[in-house]
Every structure is written in C-alpha cells, then in structure tokens.
Amino acid sequence: MAAGKSAVGAQVARRLGYRFVDTGVMYRAVTWLALERGVDLEDEAALGRLARDASLTLEPGPAGATEAARIVVDGVDVTDQLRNTEVGAAVSIVSRVRAVREAMVAQQRALAGEGRIVMVGRDIGTVVLPDAPLKVYLDASPGERARRRVDELRAKGQAVSPDDVGSELAQRDTIDSSRDVSPLRPAADAVVIDTGGLSLEQVVERILELARCRS
C-alpha cells in the first residue's frame, strides 16, 4: 500500500499503449459491497458467494482523473467510495478469504488473457500471472508510504491523522504478509525497486527500460 503501484502502473500502461488494471480496486469493490449489504466479515462462505456473484466492470477513467480506472459494481459506479477509511480498514480482512481471492484471480486472469496489459496488485507476480514476462515489485519505507497516503487522502478532502494512517499501513502489511492464501511477497524473479527518493517519472522510466530489454 502506497508504494506507488497504481500511479506508476497507470503511467507505464499509458506510455506503452496498454490497458491498465489495478486489482486492488476489485478487492475494495467486494469489500464495499459487503459493507453496503451488511455481510458479516467473519462469514467466509457469505463473502465467497458475494465475490462470485458480484458483477464487477472496470472502465477507463477520464483524462486527468485521480483514478486511472472506474469500477462499476452491479451497475453502480462506486469508484469514489473505495478509498474511504471504512473500506480501507476492512479490505485486508475480506481479501484474505480464499473463496474471494479465487473469484478475483479468475477474473484477473481472464482480463490478462486479452493481452497487452499492465496489472498491479499484491500477488500478481506470484499467483495471478506467475509467467508474466516482466514482474516489478515496488517498495518504500513505512514512513514514506504513510506520508504519500496522507497526502492522497487529504487531496480528496478527507481529514486523516498521520498516526492513524501509519497504523493502518502496518496492520495491512502484517495481515497481507502472513495470510495463508497469496501472502504478500515479491516473486523470485521480480525486479525490486525502492521508490523512496524517486519521482514518479523516474520509476516509470526505469520500468519502461526493463520492458524494452525484454521486447
């Protein structure tokens, strides 16, 4: 979270003329839907059914939009509701459910099967697309990631505490790296880039150079 995946991925896709898919918003969409419908977040069977039955559609965002893609859930555009603190606090709980991940991975692989795609998420290189020709793992220090997340939320008009954001980041990292299903870790053949101290453009250029070397 806040290592730069979405911002960098969107720019890389635009420069390559590829489609961009941020798989994190898919898990956030399922989480939003669970909260909206009052589904018990401890009921894994119910969450699995919700993920399998939900109609999720990713659409390109308009030029200049803060989100690179819009996500429509059962006919409703919920993009602007996916970054609130309630969804943020619950998404790791929902996304660690095996049935939820299986439903989302199936959809993500179907999207990738159409070709020419930049896909970002916490398990793309290890689970979703283990044979991808280029895997990049972005990282940054906890302090830098917290600062970026605070700036992002405040730019959207949300009043947030840096301490609260830092705690949320640490909690999500612990949950995601220790879960039994698709734990957060770089793929063995991923190129690891520490984005701390680098501009967005510098990270994008580094990845584009890696892509050119593999073409």
Question: 59: Cβ–Cβ under 8 A, 6 or more apart, which residues?
Answer: 69, 70, 71, 72
What is the per-residue pLDDT for 178?
Answer: 77
What is the per-residue pLDDT for 67?
Answer: 63
58-111 per-position pLDDT tens digit: 887 665 555 667 899 988 899 988 888 899 889 989 998 999 999 999 999 999
1 compared with 206, residue with greater pLDDT: 206
% of the chain at pLDDT higher than 70: 94
38 compared with 149, residue with greater pLDDT: 38
Listed in sequence order, the DSSP H helices in the chain are 5-16, 23-37, 44-53, 85-95, 98-112, 142-155, 162-178, 200-214
- The CATH class, in words, for 5-214 is alpha beta
Mean pLDDT of the chain: 87
Pairwise CA distance, residues 9 & 28, whole Å: 18
Positive or negative, the Cα torsion across 59, 63, 68, 70?
negative
Q: Which two tokens stand for residue 111?
A: 């999207």
Q: Which two tokens stand for residue 36?
A: 């909206």
10: alpha, beta or left? (left if phi > 0; alpha if psi -120 to 50): alpha
Q: Which two tokens stand for residue 173?
A: 């990292």
The answer to whether 12 and 135 are in contact (CB under 8 A) is: no
150-182 per-position pLDDT tens digit: 777 787 777 888 888 888 888 877 877 777 777
Is the pLDDT reported for residue 117 higher than 80?
A: yes
**All structural domains of the chain with their residue ranges:** 5-214
Confidence tier at 2 by pLDDT (50, 70, 90): low
CB count, 10 Å around CB of 161?
10
Give the CA dihedral 114, 182, 163, 80, nearest 10 degrees.
Answer: 30
pTM of the entire predicted model: 0.79
Is the pLDDT reported for residue 122 higher than 70?
A: yes
Q: Minimum mean pLDDT among 17-21, 34-38, 182-186: which range?
A: 182-186
Mean pLDDT across the stretch 123-138?
Answer: 94
Q: Which two tokens stand for residue 88?
A: 């943020």
Mean pLDDT across the stretch 23-47?
Answer: 95
